Chain A
Amino acid sequence: MADAEVIRLDSRTKSRPKARCRATTSTGRPCRNYAVDGDDYCRIHGGDARRRHPSRSRPVASEEPHAEVAARGNLLEWAQDFLSRRLSGDYPVDDFGYDPELAREVLLPLAKPLYDNYFRVRTLGVDRIPATGPALLVANHSGTIPLDAVMLQYAVATEHPQKRTIRNVAATLAFRTPFIGPLARKSGNAVACDEDALELLRRGELLGVFPEGYKGVGKGWRERYKLQRFGRGGFVELALKSRVPVVPVAIVGAEEAYPMIADARGLARIFGFPYFPITPTFPLLGPLGALPLPSRWVIEFGEPIPMDDYPDDAADDAMLVFDLSDRIRDTIQQMLYENLKVRGGAFF
């Protein structure tokens, strides 16, 4: 945990400096984190970090374009290689079914236009995610179809200095659904149960959870950006048991991608879905209506909250669990409101 920059939960709510960090992130976007008192840079880009990584605080041109040009030249070669490995079955998968080659080289690039051009996702504080070791990312869930999980995964896989892979846990429904199920597994998802979550953290993975579950992703337009109940606090127990820091994540934009104006419960029951969304375009425009609206997104990663100062049996202390769960929920709710202001218009 030495690499994690952790501060106490309470410090966030104290009076915050108004100035924003002047550094540029590794992808060439403005950092936009709040600057440390008396400095022009945030915790990540300023202070010790500037001495350790001088390049980070200077606006540097992204290295990605060069890599892309080089990659394009070898695209044919790569495709041949890739196909031959696929056809002979010669590729590694981990015990949970994560297929790094498929996920990194095929699925992520497919999400790129959606991330960069369609949703124009902006990230704040992605460097707050520990460089190594396990951590629990807790995010709000919205938007009818869990595109937020995909965008979150893309954000960390491309913008985090270590380009880490988030392993999300997903509902059983995802794994029961043909085509979606194997795809979810291969892109690094696991089953939303204690066993999977604990094991992923034990293996030092970055685990992503959406404690609102269906209540969040399937809530109506009128309740947009209002956090629902955070499950039963299972994620806090998980973090306490594993002694891993919790990184609160606020995702703004998914609500407008699929504004759900009504829930056809009858249809939902027939299909066995937890809800059946009616949006302004779906099912009115048929399959075309299933396209998300081009909303603008902001994903903010909050300061990690350490979980290792609690006693050994803290996970059994129901009051502590509820209390921590509520505080993390409040933190994310505040982050949502702030980022709604930062974002401005929902679409333009």
Chain B
Amino acid sequence: MAEKRRVLITGVSRFLGLRLAKLLEDDDSIDSIIGVDLEEPPIPVDRLEFVRVDIRNPLIARVIEATGATVLVHTNISSSPGLLGGRSQMKENNVIGTMQLLAGAQRARRLEKVIVKSSAAIYGSGPGEPSILPEDHAARQVELSGYAKDCAEAEIYVRDFGRRRGDVDLVIFRTQNVIGPTVRTNITDYLSLPAVPTALGYDPRLQFLHEEDAVAAFRSAIVEDCRGIFNIAADGVVYLSQAIRLMGKVELPIVLPAAEGFASLLRSFNVVDFPTDQLKLILYGRVVDTGRAKEAFGFAPRYSTRASLEDFRDHHRGELAPEPSVRPHWERELFEYLRTRSKESV
């Protein structure tokens, strides 16, 4: 590996990028951290060189070159259209952003590794899909749309980049829905509703990823020698009905033809930004196989799916602030910040 490890993180002011920067802050094996985003990180990060630049701007190439980044971590693919000002803006950010970023990275001579956060949504959800999805599975019977399609298209650009820069190690993370005390996504919003709407007659298996395990996986990918596509998720599954019970909420079953309308209703009243393209998840669920990541770089999630959910339940949204002894001090700041900010997504 490189003697000097210089990590550039996109989306550093958003949840996942920020947590990753915070984790690397005290890490001796990382020589410097460069963060890129449109707004400054809400809480200070030691050693972080922040650069305010849009990844869709050609300037990004100069930033990558000038900072001498050896590892590029792209966390800026979002699943919340509401946060970005609509679906077309979201696609602009996710797909075009990735395309421009990688175009900018192509001539960066010191670059050794590119890590991209994609999503397990790329597998879609369908009744005939394998129960436990391996990385080499291509969605067969489901048509991708919205976020999943963005991820699929972004991955194509990543692979194209890999063909042109064979010397760069490529890592794609397909993460399951991230959940935990500080993260806020459309899934966490959905599970926080007092009565959780479900589709009558359907009960999907869900799999989560605890935020700490997500960030730890990114750190491993930075420091370990690895390349390829990896599913990143917690062990075990819970049924949606079970998850709602564990959350201490009640189900609100809705007949399927009305479900889509209900989802848009919730969206328009700003209750929960649950895109209709993710409705399939609530019908058929999605579970991935994480064996490859465990073998390649020792991915070892500390929280099971159920434990992740319980941690989220016990600590989410400041209803019960995390104790300082358990969680690092900065997390409280982040916590306060997230409480006041509009929807944040990973």
A residues apposed to B, CB below 8 Å: 86-91, 93-97, 99, 172-173, 175-176, 178-179, 181-182, 185-186, 190-191, 193, 195-196, 199
* Structural contact, A95 and B287, CB atoms closer than 8 A: yes
B85 within 8 A of A: no
Q: How far is the CB of A99 from chain B (nearest CB, A)?
A: 8
Chain A residue with the shortest CB-CB distance to B250: A87
* A178-B201 contact, Cβ under 8 Å, with A89-B238, A97-B237: yes
Chain A residue with the shortest CB-CB distance to B199: A178
B residues apposed to A, CB below 8 Å: 127-134, 137, 141, 199-203, 205, 236-239, 241-247, 256, 284, 287
Residues of B contacting A: mostly: loop
* Structural contact, A175 and B127, CB atoms closer than 8 A: yes
8 examples of A-B residue contacts, CB within 8 angstroms? A89-B242, A97-B131, A97-B205, A97-B239, A99-B239, A178-B199, A190-B131, A191-B129
Q: How many A-B residue pairs have CB under 8 A?
A: 79
**Which B residues are CB-close (under 8 A) to A173?**
127
* Structural contact, B244 and A89, CB atoms closer than 8 A: yes
**Which B residues are CB-close (under 8 A) to A93?**
205, 237-239, 242
**Which B residues are CB-close (under 8 A) to A185?**
203, 205
**Which B residues are CB-close (under 8 A) to A89?**
238, 241-247
A90–B137 Cα distance when bound, in Å, is 32
* Structural contact, A95 and B132, CB atoms closer than 8 A: yes
**Which A residues are CB-close (under 8 A) to B236?**
95
* Structural contact, B130 and A193, CB atoms closer than 8 A: yes
**Which A residues are CB-close (under 8 A) to B239?**
93, 97, 99, 182, 186
Identify which of B199, B239, B256 gathers the most chain A CB atoms within 10 Å of its CB: B239
* A196-B130 contact, Cβ under 8 Å, with A86-B245, A89-B245, A178-B200: yes
* Nearest 6 A/B pairs, CB to CB: A178-B201, A89-B245, A172-B128, A195-B130, A182-B203, A175-B127
Chain B residue with the shortest CB-CB distance to A88: B245
Chain B residue with the shortest CB-CB distance to A173: B127
Q: How far is the CB of A1 from chain B (nearest CB, A)?
A: 24
* Structural contact, B245 and A191, CB atoms closer than 8 A: no
Q: How far is the CB of A194 from chain B (nearest CB, A)?
A: 8
A199–B289 Cα distance when bound, in Å, is 10
Q: How far is the CB of B252 from chain A (nearest CB, A)?
A: 16
Chain B residue with the shortest CB-CB distance to A178: B201
* A191-B128 contact, Cβ under 8 Å, with A93-B205, A175-B284, A181-B202: yes
Q: How far is the CB of B33 from chain A (nearest CB, A)?
A: 36
A93–B284 Cα distance when bound, in Å, is 16
Q: How far is the CB of B241 from chain A (nearest CB, A)?
A: 8
Chain A residue with the shortest CB-CB distance to B287: A95
A60–B132 Cα distance when bound, in Å, is 44
A178–B283 Cα distance when bound, in Å, is 9
Chain A residue with the shortest CB-CB distance to B201: A178
**Which B residues are CB-close (under 8 A) to A196?**
130-132
**Which B residues are CB-close (under 8 A) to A176?**
127-128
Q: How far is the CB of A66 from chain B (nearest CB, A)?
A: 34
A176–B129 Cα distance when bound, in Å, is 11
Contacts A93-B242, A175-B127 aside, 13 further interface pairs with beta carbons under 8 A come to A88-B246, A89-B246, A95-B131, A95-B287, A97-B237, A99-B239, A176-B127, A178-B200, A181-B202, A182-B202, A191-B128, A195-B133, A199-B131
Q: How far is the CB of B245 from chain A (nearest CB, A)?
A: 3
Q: How far is the CB of B206 from chain A (nearest CB, A)?
A: 10
Q: How far is the CB of B129 from chain A (nearest CB, A)?
A: 7
Q: B132 contacts which of A86, A91, A182, A195 (Cβ < 8 Å)?
A: A195
Q: How far is the CB of B197 from chain A (nearest CB, A)?
A: 15
